[in-house]
């Protein structure tokens, strides 16, 4: 009897220790997982793993340059929010209904040998460049994942060039805020972030980085925000009709028209933002010549 009691006491102690150490355990697992996808070392300041709310908050994550580059931050992400599906996770599936990613600063670095830190980013795979001598990135790690909604914010992008001896730094203010949908590959997620961060700069033209191929690979994801906005008007008509008992109720005609007009304005605003972003990227490339 005493042995059984001691066993249960030990079990309670272990469960309590596991509960209080859950954030530390999650922190280590996330650092390991992100490093496998990116191939870069990283650290995070804090993490809040909430089981009841089924979400994770990560504070002050920093991804650092690989070996052969200055020991500086490549990406600074002050806040990451992840809503997860616990039931799916218990079945071995990664389902994230919502992911929010605030990228304050992203630094593209060309070292003294002319190599780019981007070429070591594992999720990008092999990015062919004329005369490239840098070590090829390892094949991306494939992981099954479902992200329903991904909101990306990008502050500014830096280009640091050490190839001529004394470093030169250029800053590009991006101020991007967009939402994307239905992402099923963590490598595509990284590719999307890099493409959106660089497309409004002249960095690709300056360095010979193949941004066009990267954009092509995630074009479906980049268009998803516009497609979703374009569908809002049609969906809103169905929703409003359901709430008002269909179009037979003429007393709600003014409300129906007003709601449809608001949805159309939202869709037009999203398309305008997409066009402006593409135009900005083209202008940035032309300025470099």
Tens of pLDDT, residues 200-228: 999 999 999 999 999 998 988 887 765 55
Question: Residue 194 and residue 215: Cα distance in Å, rounded?
Answer: 9
Question: Residue 63 and residue 41: Cα distance in Å, rounded?
Answer: 6
Reported confidence tier of residue 85, pLDDT bands at 50, 70, 90: very high
Please say whether the beta carbons of 62 and 42 come within 8 A: yes
Tens of pLDDT, residues 128-154: 454 454 455 555 555 678 999 999 999
Distance of CA 107 to the CA centre of its chain: 16
Distance of CA 285 to the CA centre of its chain: 24
Highest mean pLDDT among 45-49, 55-59, 198-202: 198-202
């Amino acid at each position: 009897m005493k042995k059984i009691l001691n066993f249960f006491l030990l079990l309670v102690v272990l469960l309590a220790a596991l509960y209080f150490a859950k954030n530390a355990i999650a922190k280590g697992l996330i650092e390991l997982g992100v490093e496998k996808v990116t191939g870069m070392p990283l650290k995070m300041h804090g993490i809040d793993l909430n089981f009841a709310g089924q979400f994770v908050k990560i504070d002050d994550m920093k991804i650092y340059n690989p070996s052969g580059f200055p020991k500086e931050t490549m990406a600074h992400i002050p806040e990451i929010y992840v809503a997860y599906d616990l039931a799916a996770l218990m079945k071995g599936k990664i389902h994230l209904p919502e992911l929010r990613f605030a990228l304050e600063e992203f630094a593209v670095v060309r070292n003294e040998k002319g190599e780019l830190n981007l070429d070591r980013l594992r999720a990008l795979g092999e990015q062919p460049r004329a005369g490239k001598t840098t070590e090829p990135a390892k094949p991306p790690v494939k992981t099954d994942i479902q992200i329903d909604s991904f909101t990306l914010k990008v502050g500014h992008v830096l280009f640091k060039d050490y190839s001529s001896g004394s470093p030169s730094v250029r800053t590009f203010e991006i101020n991007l805020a967009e939402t994307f949908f239905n992402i099923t590959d963590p490598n595509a997620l990284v590719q999307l972030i890099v493409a959106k961060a660089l497309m409004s700069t002249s960095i690709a033209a300056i360095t010979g980085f193949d941004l066009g191929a990267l954009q092509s690979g995630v074009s479906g994801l980049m268009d998803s925000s516009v497609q979703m906005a374009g569908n809002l008007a049609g969906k809103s008509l169905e929703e409003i009709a359901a709430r008002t008992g269909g179009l037979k109720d003429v007393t709600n005609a003014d409300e129906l028209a007003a709601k449809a007009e608001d949805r159309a304005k939202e869709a037009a605003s999203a398309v305008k933002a997409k066009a402006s972003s593409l135009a900005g990227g083209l202008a940035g490339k032309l300025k470099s010549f």
